[in-house]
Amino acid sequence: MKERDLILMKSLIESYVKQGTPIGSKALLQSSHLSVSPATVRNIMADLERQGLLLSPHTSAGRIPTTQGLRIFVDKIIQVRSPKSALINHVRSNLNPNLDTRSLVGTASNLLSDLTRMASLVQIPSTPVKKLQHIDFVPLSDHRLLVVMVLENDEIQNRVIQVDRNYERSEIEQMANYLNRQLAGRDINSARKELFGEMLKEKQQLDSLLQNAIEFAEKGFQSSQELTQQNEDGFHLSGQTNLVSMASHGQLDNIEQIFSAFKQKQQIMSLLDRSLAADGVKIFIGEESGSQGLAGCSLVTAPYKQDGKPVGVLAVVGPTRMQYDKVIPIVDVTAKMLSSALDSKVRTSS
C-alpha cells in the first residue's frame, strides 16, 4: 500500500473512532492534510473499498473501515508509545503481592476496566493436578470419533466429535501416536498450552492426517473437565456497566449478545487460550474471535506468567472502534505487573 493510502487510512480510522460515523472525502481531505484534490481522495477511497478495507453504508456516502481495514491499521499504521511511568506505578501499587491469587486476578481485572472504561476478562491461574497418560480415538458410526483422554490414576475423560469422514484404524493409530509423542506425560494444562501454542503454529507444515489429529485433540481438550476445575468460573469479569454505557450512547451494538457470550464460559476460556502462547499483546478484531456474540467487539489480550511460564490471559473487551494505541499499553503493563506480583508471591512463600 502506498504511503499516501496509509495516511488516508490512518486519518479515516482515527476520525471514525472519535465520531462513530462514516467519513466523507471532504472531511478526510481536511483531517489528513494531504496536498491532493478531492477527486484523488475519492478515487483512493474507492480503491480501498475495492480491496475490502473500507465499506460504504447504504445510508451514507462516507466510508467506515472493515475488519480487514482495522487489522491493517493495528498491524501497520498505529504507533504505540511506551507506557508512562505514572501508569506503571499505578498498576504496580494496586497489584499487591500480599493478596491471595484470586484477589490479585480480581484487582487486575478491575484495574483494566477502570483504566480503559471497557470490560475486562482475566483468567484465574490454573493449578495442574493430573498428567495425561495417553490419548486415543475410537471410531464410531456416522462420521464420529470418541476422543479418549486417559489421565493418571486411570481417570478417563472422553467426548464424541463429528469428523469429515470415517477413518481407518491405521489412520487413527497414526494420529494418536503423533499426539502421544507430543503430549503424553504432561499435566493437562501444559498439554493444553502446547496444543494451542507450538503445535498449532506448526499445523500448516504437517500432512492432512496430522493436521486432523490436532483439530480432533483441540475439540477433546475443549470439553475436558480439567479446563473448568481451576475454579468455579475460570475467569474474572469486570466492567460490564461500561459496555452498557457505551451501548446507551450508540457506541456498541448487540449488547444482549455480548452478555450472552460472556456466559459461554467454555467458549471464553478457549478464546483466551488462543493467546496463552502469544509473545505480548494479541488483538482479535470483530469476527476474528470466532464468537458470534463478540463479532461486534475487539479483544486486546496478553498472557501473564509465573516463574516465566504462562499461567493465564487477560483481555479488554470493547467496540471495534476503540483507541487501540491507548488500550494496548494498558493491557501490556497490567500483564507484566501481574506477572511480577505473582513472582513476588512465589519468592515470599519460598
* DSSP state letters, 294-312: GTTEEEEEEEEEETTEEEE
Q: C-alpha cell of 239?
A: 466492567
Model pLDDT, residue 343: 92
Find the mean pLDDT for residues 197-213. 79
The answer on pLDDT for 205 being more than 80 is: no
Q: How confident is the model at residue 64 (pLDDT cuts 50, 70, 90)?
A: very high
Closest by alpha carbon to 121, among 274, 7, 13?
274
The mean pLDDT of the chain is 88
Model pLDDT, residue 221: 77
Span 298-313, pLDDT tens digits: 999 999 999 888 999 9
Model pLDDT, residue 215: 86
Span 36-63, pLDDT tens digits: 999 999 999 999 999 999 999 876 679 9
Closest by alpha carbon to 285, among 325, 312, 317, 247?
317
Distance between CA atoms of residues 42 and 341, nearest Å: 52
Enumerate domains of the chain plus CATH numbers.
3-77 (1.10.10.10), 85-127+232-349 (3.30.450.40), 132-228 (3.30.390.60)
Model pLDDT, residue 240: 94
Model pLDDT, residue 233: 57
Model pLDDT, residue 231: 42
How many separate helices (H) and strands (E) can be counted in the chain? 14, 10
**Cβ contacts of 334 within 8 Å, gap of 6 or more:** 91, 108, 111, 112, 115, 302, 314
Instruction: Tell me whether strands 309-319 and 119-123 are parallel, antiparallel or unpaired.
Output: antiparallel
Sheet holding 235-238, edge to edge: 235-238, 119-123, 309-319, 297-306, 282-285
Helix, strand or coil, per DSSP, at residue 101: helix
pTM for this prediction: 0.71
Instruction: Tell me whether strands 235-238 and 119-123 are parallel, antiparallel or unpaired.
Output: antiparallel
